[in-house]
């Protein structure tokens, strides 16, 4: 295998060729940073504040590295089953282009790269990061033991939120945990859509998922989780922005997200694998839109405070 082929295999292992997952992890991390900075400012009697560029860059890089590490260990965990699933049989461990040892090595390198960023953050963030590493390592194996691997994925991806609060405020507060719970609801919902696309293959090979657990109630439960996400996010935004110059406008801005969710669920109700996968991909725009909504509200409040 040439160097170019090997490099391509590593890019596919870590999904740098498919940045969907990076965005789904990155945007909520940035939500948490912006809201944590707002909370810190309010605690200090200020109207608003924005996170420093240093923290912004460090957490963005950390999200990118840890998502790639999660993909590497996920492919290691699934190396014996990916070849039996239509959508994943071309992955580099499934088709033999990379070995299990190479995948584990990639995971360790990416974790170390992410850990190196902690030298520039408060020591408390390091202790909280241990939870992120543990969750990133164990969640790919959970589909062997529980029908709720999506919950472990949500916790692994969402752990950056309390870490952001620790970096900025010194400790997570109730609003941090509400944001974390909201994120978990959203993640379980969209990863169930993802699992719906693979449900037939997963049943054949004995892999568990929420899509299998929810059965014919899958779209209904996804809708409930999305509704909970909107309600909790609305409460969080109300807390941070209602007393400011922007008022409750960010809360009303979530109406567009509700319409996005309705369109996704209409697609999933067809039970077409491609339609379910496209519904999953559409969540990138949910993450982008909410980031823009929060960022504009924070910037406007800071300027006009």
pLDDT tens digit string along 43-84? 776 666 788 889 889 989 988 888 888 888 888 877 777 666
**CATH number for the domain that contains residue 19:** 1.10.357.140
DSSP summary character for residue 92: T
Mean pLDDT of 92-112: 86
- Does 87 have pLDDT greater than 90? no
Among residues 130, 139, 128, 127, which one has the least CA distance to residue 111?
130
Taking a C-beta distance cutoff of 8 angstroms, is the pair 33, 59 a contact? yes
Q: Is residue 3 part of a domain?
A: no
CB atoms within 10 A of CB 280: 23
Name the one residue in this structure whose structure tokens are 């994120």. 183
Query: Half-sphere exposure of residue 68, counting CA atoms within 13 Å on the CB side?
Result: 24
What does the pLDDT look like over 3-27, one tens digit per residue? 787 888 888 888 888 878 888 889 9
| Rounded distance between C-alpha atoms, residue 147 and residue 65, angstroms | 27
The parent domain of residue 83 ranges over 8-304
Where are the extended beta strands (E) located within 174-297? none
CA torsion sign, 64 to 275 to 152 to 205?
Answer: negative
Q: Give Cα separations from 126 to 22, 40, 224 (angstroms).
A: 21, 20, 35
Taking a C-beta distance cutoff of 8 angstroms, is the pair 164, 180 a contact? no
| Rounded distance between C-alpha atoms, residue 302 and residue 109, angstroms | 39
Taking a C-beta distance cutoff of 8 angstroms, is the pair 301, 48 a contact? yes
pLDDT at 305: 60
Name the one residue in this structure whose structure tokens are 């657990």. 213
pLDDT at 277: 92
What does the pLDDT look like over 153-180, one tens digit per residue? 889 889 999 999 999 999 999 999 999 9
pLDDT at 147: 84
Q: Is residue 198 part of a domain?
A: yes
Q: Is residue 34 part of a domain?
A: yes
Q: How many domains does the chain have?
A: 1
Q: Is residue 1 part of a domain?
A: no
pTM check: above 0.75:
yes
Q: Is residue 146 part of a domain?
A: yes
Q: Is residue 230 part of a domain?
A: yes
CA torsion sign, 254 to 37 to 135 to 62?
Answer: positive
Q: Is residue 2 part of a domain?
A: no
Among residues 227, 225, 215, 233, which one has the least CA distance to residue 189?
225
DSSP summary character for residue 2: -
Structural tokens at position 2: 């040439």
Degrees to nearest 5, angle at CA 89 with 88 and 93: 95
Q: Is residue 40 part of a domain?
A: yes
| Rounded distance between C-alpha atoms, residue 187 and residue 183, angstroms | 6
């Amino acid at each position: 295998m040439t160097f170019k082929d090997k490099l391509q295999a590593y890019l596919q292992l870590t999904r740098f060729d498919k940045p969907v997952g990076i965005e789904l992890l990155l945007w909520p991390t940035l939500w948490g940073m912006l809201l944590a900075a707002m909370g810190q400012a309010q605690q200090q009697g200020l109207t608003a504040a924005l996170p420093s560029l240093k923290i912004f860059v460090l957490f963005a890089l950390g999200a990118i590295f840890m998502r790639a590490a999660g993909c590497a260990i996920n492919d290691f965990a699934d190396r014996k089953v990916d070849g039996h699933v239509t959508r994943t049989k071309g992955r580099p461990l499934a088709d033999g282009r990379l070995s299990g040892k190479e995948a584990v090595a990639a995971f360790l390198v990416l974790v170390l790269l992410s850990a190196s960023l902690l030298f520039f953050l408060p020591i408390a963030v390091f202790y909280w990061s241990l939870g992120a590493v543990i969750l990133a390592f164990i969640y790919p194996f959970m589909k062997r033991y529980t029908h709720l691997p999506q919950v472990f994925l949500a916790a692994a991806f969402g752990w950056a939120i309390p870490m952001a609060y620790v970096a900025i405020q010194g400790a997570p507060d109730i609003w941090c945990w509400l944001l974390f719970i909201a994120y978990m609801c959203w993640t379980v919902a969209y990863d169930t859509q993802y699992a719906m696309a693979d449900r037939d293959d997963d049943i054949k090979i004995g892999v568990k998922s929420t899509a299998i657990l929810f059965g014919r109630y899958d779209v209904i439960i996804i809708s409930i989780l999305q509704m909970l996400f909107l309600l909790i996010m609305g409460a969080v935004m109300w807390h941070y922005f209602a007393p400011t110059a922007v008022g409750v406008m960010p809360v009303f801005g979530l109406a567009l997200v509700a319409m996005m969710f309705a369109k996704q669920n209409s697609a999933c109700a067809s039970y077409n694998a491609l339609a379910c996968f496209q519904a999953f991909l559409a969540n990138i725009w949910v993450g982008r839109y909410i980031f823009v909504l929060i960022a504009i509200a924070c910037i406007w409040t800071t300027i006009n405070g």
